Structure 1
Amino acid sequence: MGAHPLVVRVTPTGTRPGSGLSRVLRGGVVNMAGAVVSAALNLALIVAITRAFSQETAGLLFSATSVFLIMAAVANAGAPDGLVYFIARMRVFGRPEAVPALLRLALGPAVLAACAVSAALLVLAGPLADALGPEEAAAYLRVLALFLPFAVLADSALAATRAHHDMSVTVVVDKVGRPLAQLGLVGMIALSGSAGLLALAWAGPYLPAAVLAWFWLGRIVRRAGPEGARSEPGAAGPSATGPDAGPGDGPGADQGWREEPGPGDTRGRSGERGARVTPAEFWSFALPRALGGVAQMGVQRGGVVMVALLNGLTGAAVFTAATRIMVVGQFGTQAVLYAAQPRFAELLAARDHEGVRGLYQAGTAWLVCLTWPLYLTGLVFAPEVMRLFGAEYAAGAVALAIVCAGQLTGQVLGMGDLVLTMTGRTGLNLLNNVMSLLANVAACVLLVPVYGAAGAALALVAAVLVRKLLPLWQLRSLVVLHPFGRPVLAAAASGLLWFGALPLALEAATGGGLPALAAAVLVGALGHLATVWRLRDRLELRG
């Protein structure tokens, strides 16, 4: 679980810092388009549930689906991150013919694990339902358990498509298709008044999503055969890193990098770097990441379950509504992370330190540009936002303000956990996520019984800051990386001006309310877009 020694001496090179940003930016734009639609659909889904059903029913569904998502994180065994990491390295070192074997190695055990977890959830549905309260909880959990293997298969297949820099599959299947189907089914159930079918409406779309993702992945893998990969313009940036490249070849070879062999460095048995990956190599990377992913999902969704257990289903419904703005913001975050993840793996495999640092700082600026407007608006207009879910949810305004303040800080700290994972240090990533989960659970136990949803929001912010600060410190110690620079400062200044100072001035002048919120969002969005366009060179937004 300890860190691998990695010493970097930064020296001038001929490699342009951040090389390959245009590819990441193009993928991020595709993801962002899907993220906007997905965020709107998911927000509409939550609003439909909270307005069409009682707080107890909404809280039950939110709690049951949180259990489902935590179990899915357990069942995928880290296969999605492992696939991105190893497929990216195979592409860098010219070994695309090894991808089908890697898919069989990863997806077989992941699907079997999902079936086992699904069976366990079916058996444990009764005791879990007793803890949650209502008799309907067991039926909800059993229906969700049936679709868990399809969720795992879809997640892993979509990760493999992103490793090939194809972001359109994730957008069409996961960001638009699945939430649109969920919204349509929930709307039909709301009209029929049969709340017992809510779990089926929420989980059912995972089945067609898995089928489509698997079919689409097959097409991508066939297209990306050895001949197609050789004709593709250098996956690792301007320097050619061919199939015979060794540890001292490629960009950054003379920059002072010294790294212990990590996952994917398969010399010895295969004699060639980037060749076929053994099960031991794959799962030694994936399993620690799986446990870290479980801890991370526990932080994101465990708060809903903790509030349901410690404060009742009504409190769980309020907390879920208050944290929806964070979930909406995560779609924007994922738009950048999904596009950057394979590129980080390629740059790290090619030992291009300048490229990694440039992408790290530019990616953080993009995150701030995308998410700060949302969180600043939620912070300033928290009461108005909560009224969208219904009058009985107004009590969640304090929780919403706390969540937004925490997310503003978390986004400016950057994507350190992703970079840490792509260096192969999944043990450190696991440690960080476990520490984050422990902080969340401890704070929930202390604060939720007294402060309800607001206490859970404080616990969530504490967990997010632990997960963000630890890898930031570790990366500064190991690879001399940090997110701070002129791009981030420019992005933060634009967000504070158009979504902080302007809304506060409008609220002071008009007394707040929905008209002030709408005006602030409209004017702020236009001003922010104009500022970002004016600063596009500084923000590395030229594709």
Structure 2
Amino acid sequence: MSRRDSVGLGRVARGGAVNMAGAVIGAALNVGLVIAVTRAFSQETAGAFFSATSVFLIVLAVANLGTSNGVVYFVARLRTLGAAGLVPRVLRLAFGPVVAVSLALSCLMLASAGALAEWLGDPEVGAYLVLLAAFLPFAVYADAALAATRGFHDMRATVLLDKVARPLAQLALLGGVALTGAAGLLTVAWAGPYLPAALLAGWWLRRIMRAAPPAPPAPDPDAEPPRVDARTFWAFALPRSVASVAQIGIQRSGIVLVAALRGAADAALFTAATRFMVVGQFGTQAIQFAVQPRLAELLAVEDRAGANTLYRTSTAWLICLTWPLYLPAIVYAPLMLRPFGADYSTGWGVLVVVSAGMLVSSACGMSDLVLTMAGRTGWNLVNNLAALVVTVAVSLALIPSAGAVGAALAWAAAIVVRNLLPILQLSRSMGLHPFSRTWLIAVAACLVWFVPAPLACRAVLGSDPLSLAVALALGGAGYAATLWRLRGTLGLTGLLRRRARAEAVVEDPGKTVPTPL
């Protein structure tokens, strides 16, 4: 059996494909949501709405307490180590505190809404935050429950509920609000779908736990059972919680700081110009969700060679998925912003900077996730806090003079810090890194097909939709043929198999360990 078969790349690829289908739909719905708001309302109203929802998402990351990563890590790890009976205890340890904290933070949002609105210079933000606070506990519970389903290698709940159903409901409700012009209902339309999503996520998790197949036997029957208590769980989850807050702060603080330093109109411009970053992040997240439980399993039995294979191959997948999006976006930046409205095309500089930053991020792979699944949540915390400090410092220095472009430069600087630090740490401590011959092939394929074609088409046909369509058709055709020819090298053959293997070999002194499907 090949190394790639032994680490379960076929199953991971198929899980990634399921997530990818949802990511494509979710990304389209996310962009459609922003277009609906920017087209129907003024830049000031749109900026106030985006600022309020950014505050909500930052508070959501705080209330989550790191449980999304914690439950995936412990559920996958316990099942691999033959201790599936401890999974319900893990979920009780996780869910009780996060629900209590979310209720407390919901009350805090209500109490501080006026002060936040005053700081952001827009009273409309305060009204939005009051309405958003009511839905915070439901959003927190939905995130935790969906993470638990991924620990069982079930990606369908996340795809159907989080990537498709909820954003589709948000878009439909926001479209209705846009038609009426009732700006006061924007946040209710956006946050309302979290309520049914939470109920359905809880039902799905209970269904999975009742129907879950027996876990594999422990790799070493004589070994002491893994310890799972409140101290063990929260020692892992809480550092990741702070890191997650820092991470969402890196992504969302730009909108809030631009609103505070330059006004709501500039915040709306920054939000629109960074939507294509979110599209790529949906795809990245789809692969991460599929890779995460398998990484936890491999590292649980100290199979570093298998983890390195998965790390390097998934990095190539990220490059192949996201670079064909960001390279043309750099060439056609002004055109890409036209759907948001004529006033938003001036944000093309933001799109160029953000796209360049995302190229670097994809090329570094999911180093942050590998560090977490290796149990190094303390290092992960330090890295994300360092990146957040860079974001805030550069933002405060550049936003007053450069506006949204300054926020984009701050974000790009943070991305470099956040990706390079874990690569250095993983390489020195565990011998893991994302670079390989496969990495070079993925980069070369993207550069060959998505740099010359867009540049030539823009030079000959100009910067209009027809030119972009021709560039994508030419580059996409050659790229698809290249991926097909290199499917074995890039580890994509698992996507073509109709049936997964029932077992995967985990090489831990030569033993064969059945892996949960």
Normalised to the residue count of structure 2, the TM-score between the two structures is 0.94
Matches of residues 197-346 of structure 1 in structure 2 within 5 Å? 197-224=185-212, 228-230=213-215, 241-242=218-219, 244=221, 246=223, 271-273=224-226, 277-346=228-297
Deviation larger for 119-128 or 513-522 = 513-522
Which amino acid counterpart does residue 332 of structure 1 have in structure 2? G
Question: Is 1:531 matched with 2:516?
Answer: no
Q: Distance in 2 between matches of 1:243 and 1:519?
A: 58
Which residue in the other structure is 1:506 paired with? 457
Q: Distance in 1 between matches of 2:130 and 2:288?
A: 33
Which residue in the other structure is 1:78 paired with? 66
Q: Distance in 1 between matches of 2:94 and 2:462?
A: 56
Q: Distance in 1 between matches of 2:129 and 2:33?
A: 19
Which residue in the other structure is 1:153 paired with? 141
Is this contact kept in 2: 1:90–1:96, CA < 8 A? Answer: yes
Is this contact kept in 1: 2:51–2:125, CA < 8 A? Answer: no
Which residue in the other structure is 1:3 paired with? none
Q: Distance in 1 between matches of 2:300 and 2:47?
A: 45
Is this contact kept in 2: 1:336–1:367, CA < 8 A? Answer: yes
Which amino acid counterpart does residue 383 of structure 2 have in structure 1? N
Which residue in the other structure is 2:155 paired with? 167
Normalised to the residue count of structure 1, the TM-score between the two structures is 0.89
Describe the superposition over 1:224-267 as per-residue Cα deviations: whole angstroms up to 9, x where unpaired: 2xxx224xxx6xxxxx7546264xxxxxxxxxxxxxxxxxxxxx
Which residue in the other structure is 1:385 paired with? 336
Describe the superposition over 1:253-300 as per-residue Cα deviations: whole angstroms up to 9, x where unpaired: xxxxxxxxxxxxxxxxxx423x5x100000000000000000000000
Q: Number of matched residues?
A: 494
Matches of residues 66-215 of structure 1 in structure 2 within 5 Å? 66-215=54-203
Deviation, 1:534, is: 1.2
Deviation, 1:136, is: 1.9
Q: Distance in 2 between matches of 1:17 and 1:241?
A: 21
The secondary structure found in structure 2 opposite 1:229 is coil
Deviation, 1:383, is: 0.6
Sort the Cα spacing of 1:15 and 1:451 in 2 relative to 1 into closer, same or farther, 3 A: closer
Deviation, 1:526, is: 2.8
Is this contact kept in 2: 1:18–1:356, CA < 8 A? Answer: no
Deviation, 1:99, is: 1.1
- Residue of 493, 497, 510 corresponding to 1:542: 493
Is this contact kept in 2: 1:95–1:243, CA < 8 A? Answer: no
Question: Is 1:418 matched with 2:380?
Answer: no
Deviation, 1:204, is: 0.4
Is this contact kept in 1: 2:83–2:218, CA < 8 A? Answer: no
Deviation larger for 129-138 or 384-393 = 129-138
Q: Distance in 2 between matches of 1:245 and 1:15?
A: 27
Which structure 1 segments of 5+ residues have no match? 1-12, 235-239, 247-270
Question: Is 1:430 matched with 2:430?
Answer: no
Q: Distance in 1 between matches of 2:135 and 2:342?
A: 34
Which residue in the other structure is 2:437 paired with? 486
Deviation, 1:17, is: 7.4
Deviation larger for 215-224 or 511-520 = 511-520
Deviation, 1:16, is: 5.5
Describe the superposition over 1:335-394 as per-residue Cα deviations: whole angstroms up to 9, x where unpaired: 110000111000000111111010000000000011101111111100100112111011
Which amino acid counterpart does residue 372 of structure 1 have in structure 2? W
Which residue in the other structure is 1:356 paired with? 307
Which residue in the other structure is 1:451 paired with? 402
CA RMSD of superposed structures (Å): 1.4
Deviation, 1:515, is: 1.1
Sort the Cα spacing of 1:311 and 1:221 in 2 relative to 1 into closer, same or farther, 3 A: same
Describe the superposition over 1:137-181 as per-residue Cα deviations: whole angstroms up to 9, x where unpaired: 111001111101111100010000001100010000000000000
Which amino acid counterpart does residue 157 of structure 1 have in structure 2? A
The structure with the largest helix share of the pair is 2
Describe the superposition over 1:51-87 as per-residue Cα deviations: whole angstroms up to 9, x where unpaired: 1111001100100000000000000111111101110
